[in-house]
Chains A and B, each alone.
Chain A
Amino acid sequence: MKKLIKKEVLDLLRDPRIILPFLLTPIIFLIIGAAISQSVQSTVTEIVEPSLIKANVIFEDNLPQDFTGYLKNLANKEKVEFYFTKKGKELNEILKETNYDVYVLIPKDFFEKIERKERGTIYTYSKTTEFSFVQVTPVKEIKVVRMIENYIKEKYVNSTETLNFVTNPIYHYSLVYLPSKDTIVSSQTLSSLFSGILIASVIILSLGAIVMQISSTSTAVENEYKTLEILLLLPISRFKILLAKLIGTYIVSLIGLSLFIVGFLGYFFMIASLPRTEQGVSGFTFSFAMFDSFSATLLIISIIISLFFMASLGVIIGILSNDVRLANTLTGPIFIVIFIPAFYLLFSTPPATVKGILMSIPYVQTLIFIKEIITTDFNILHLIYIFNSLLVILILIFITSKIFSLEILLNLQNKISRRFKRRV
């Protein structure tokens, strides 16, 4: 029995198909961990060693003199630089034209309510141009709101007030201004939108995996069923044979894509029918308004390119595998490897050059487009990303057509097979 167990353990551990996913998993987690910790680190740093916050207090009615004095006196100690602006124009315009870390809107009746010992409402706004899954802005907003709250507690609260007013005299609504869309959404709305993005990303990921699996299997089957030789002998160029295989696989994936779109739209409509928020709009109603035709078109093109890319990769895996089992073994790790840059970009904001290179990888690009469609105004840069990804695919197909001969394939298949075949 002992010997049998030993044989089993050794046999499995010496099999690269088992070991490779084992090794890849911690690497992926390390990369994700590094990206997330980078984002969290900036939040923690903001709390422990706060940087100077520039806060613009926008008021509709005159503010009490000692209120502005109170805040200005605390400026050095709290590292908050206050600016005060009388609301003379639309809030969107102020947010668009100026650049502060935090905007605080004090409505007309705020201090009247406070005088009456009723809870007053204030709104804070932050500008978001780039979204990473851990945001620093709320920390800054909360700090400014606390300062205002402290002023009210010191000035207006005494033992006779209701407990509610004493403990929490302010209703605080946190809102986010998206300059690219010139739209204000609540933080909750933004969160639900990002949940939508995550779900969409997962669906795109699944679809990509399915496409890759279909194409790798269908190509590996040519090797396994011994039909590849006949295919290669047809009196047409290898490039055409390869392209036909790619397009065939792609048509199947497009059927999958249309089903995905049906499901995805259904998902959005279901969410859009949810009750409206206090700000007057539900998140997903906004989401439709925010998807302008240009960015939506680019996203669709990117999805189409990505699926073609995944089909191409699948075909390459298929022709390099001499059976379906090996193709399936290779598909998993290669899919994970492609996903690593996407993970990195989803959770962090790298330098423009690094981003540009990574965005040329079609599948990575789509996942990031899904994220950016809300926060970023699609521009010429996004067009360049798409052009680059097309180039990547063309290079990939060209290289593949060069190795698409039995001579080269046999050599490569033997090498791969020797590495991956389980020792019996």
Chain B
Amino acid sequence: MKAVEINDLVKRYGYIEALKGVNLEVSQNEIFALVGPNGAGKTTTFKIVSTLLLPTSGQVKVFGYDVVNEADKVRKMISYLPEEAGVYKNITGYEYLDLIAYTYFGNSSEYSKALELGIEIAGLGNRIRDRMKNYSKGMKRRIQLARTLMTKPKLAILDEPTTGVDFEYAYEIRKIILEYNKKFNITFMVSSHNLREVEVISSKIAIIKDGIILKTGNIDNLLEEYKANNVEDLYIKIIKGA
């Protein structure tokens, strides 16, 4: 069974067609990168996969569950990190992670494990007890990443996960993604404008522009096919050739 199957996905916002028949497949335990210029349709695709938006037409399945008719089941298996995810300013990072752990696991032993994991991923030390209004942009991103991964979802959708964080923590995030992919068999769908980052973490890539998938496949195979030196080179060749 595929982790994500997208067939002929179309999404219209009024007269604007954001997705024009997208077809994608993401295998289980894969780190899949969706890259493209601004406004290409990456976030719209992620929002539909994560059940936040409804497709205009086409079908999307997550681990065999339809995102429209079985949204409740899909939500239990996924976790989504939006590009501009905000935080509640007047509660502490700890209180926030505690809320998430409790919502997913109730009062079970899993709850405390998830909370511990969240605190570990956030890596904020004593600042975890501070109100989040006092957090820097990077700290807020850490909390959000912790929130996304602490529940060990089957599918984690990360929209620009390293936006706004320093080089050191960006490196940490990449390490966490690779580690959690192996350790907990989490499938990742990631978007990023940092193509070197994509090269480091992903095995499969899809390049999207104007709501159309230009190319999708294994990174190594595509590099060979396009005789590209790296993903950045590959991206430019595919985008310019479109």
Asked if chains A and B come from one complex, the reply is yes
Q: Do A235 and B103 have beta carbons less than 8 Å apart?
A: yes
Which listed residue (B47, B54, B76, B85) contacts A230, Cβ 8 A?
A: B85
Question: Which B residues lie within 8 Å of A232 (CB)?
Answer: 52
Is A233 an interface position by the 8 A CB rule?
A: yes
Q: How many residues of B contact A (CB 8 A)?
A: 23
Take A406-B47, A406-B52, A407-B53 as given contacts and tell me if A233 and B80 are in contact as well, using a CB distance cutoff of 8 Å.
yes
Which parts of B99-143 form the interface with A (CB within 8 Å)? 100, 103-104
Which parts of B46-100 form the interface with A (CB within 8 Å)? 47, 50-54, 72, 75-76, 78-80, 82, 84-89, 100
Which of A27-35, A157-165, A221-229, A277-285 binds B? A221-229
Is B147 an interface position by the 8 A CB rule?
A: yes
Q: Do A229 and B82 have beta carbons less than 8 Å apart?
A: yes
Is A236 an interface position by the 8 A CB rule?
A: yes
Question: Which B residues lie within 8 Å of A234 (CB)?
Answer: 75, 100, 103
Q: Do A225 and B86 have beta carbons less than 8 Å apart?
A: yes
Q: Do B89 and A229 have beta carbons less than 8 Å apart?
A: no
Question: Which A residues lie within 8 Å of B84 (CB)?
Answer: 226
Chain A residues in contact with chain B, CB under 8 A? 224-227, 229-230, 232-237, 406-407, 410
Q: Do B76 and A229 have beta carbons less than 8 Å apart?
A: no
User: Can you sample 17 A-B contacts with CB below 8 Å?
Assistant: A224-B86, A225-B89, A226-B84, A227-B85, A227-B87, A227-B88, A229-B47, A232-B52, A233-B79, A233-B80, A234-B75, A234-B100, A234-B103, A235-B72, A236-B103, A406-B52, A406-B53
Q: Give min CB distance, A417 to chain B, whole Å.
A: 13
Question: Which A residues lie within 8 Å of B103 (CB)?
Answer: 234-236
Q: Do A235 and B76 have beta carbons less than 8 Å apart?
A: yes
* Measured CA separation A393–B146 after assembly (Å): 38
* Measured CA separation A406–B76 after assembly (Å): 18
Q: Do B104 and A229 have beta carbons less than 8 Å apart?
A: no
Residue ID in chain A nearest B104 by CB atoms: A235
Which listed residue (A224, A225, A406) contacts B87, Cβ 8 A?
A: A225
Q: Give min CB distance, A408 to chain B, whole Å.
A: 9
* Measured CA separation A410–B82 after assembly (Å): 16
Question: Which A residues lie within 8 Å of B86 (CB)?
Answer: 224-227
Q: Give min CB distance, A228 to chain B, whole Å.
A: 9
Residue ID in chain A nearest B132 by CB atoms: A225
Which listed residue (B52, B75, B85) contacts A226, Cβ 8 A?
A: B85
Q: Do A235 and B75 have beta carbons less than 8 Å apart?
A: yes
Question: Which A residues lie within 8 Å of B80 (CB)?
Answer: 229-230, 233
* Measured CA separation A224–B85 after assembly (Å): 10
Q: Do A226 and B47 have beta carbons less than 8 Å apart?
A: no
Most buried by B among A224, A229, A230, A236: A230
* Measured CA separation A230–B143 after assembly (Å): 13
Q: Do A407 and B54 have beta carbons less than 8 Å apart?
A: yes
Question: Which A residues lie within 8 Å of B53 (CB)?
Answer: 406-407, 410
Question: Which B residues lie within 8 Å of A224 (CB)?
Answer: 86
Q: Do A226 and B82 have beta carbons less than 8 Å apart?
A: yes
* Measured CA separation A227–B53 after assembly (Å): 16
* Measured CA separation A179–B79 after assembly (Å): 65
Residue ID in chain B nearest A225 by CB atoms: B86
Q: Do B88 and A225 have beta carbons less than 8 Å apart?
A: yes
Which listed residue (A230, A235, A236, A237) contacts B82, Cβ 8 A?
A: A230
* Measured CA separation A225–B85 after assembly (Å): 8
Question: Which B residues lie within 8 Å of A230 (CB)?
Answer: 80, 82, 85, 147
Q: Give min CB distance, B131 to chain A, whole Å.
A: 13
Q: Do A233 and B52 have beta carbons less than 8 Å apart?
A: yes
Q: Give min CB distance, B70 to chain A, whole Å.
A: 13
Given contacts A234-B75, A234-B100, A236-B103, 5 further A-B contacts (CB under 8 A): A229-B85, A230-B80, A233-B75, A234-B103, A407-B53
Question: Which B residues lie within 8 Å of A237 (CB)?
Answer: 72
Q: Give min CB distance, B106 to chain A, whole Å.
A: 11
* Measured CA separation A236–B75 after assembly (Å): 9
Question: Which A residues lie within 8 Å of B147 (CB)?
Answer: 230
Question: Which B residues lie within 8 Å of A236 (CB)?
Answer: 103
Question: Which A residues lie within 8 Å of B75 (CB)?
Answer: 233-235
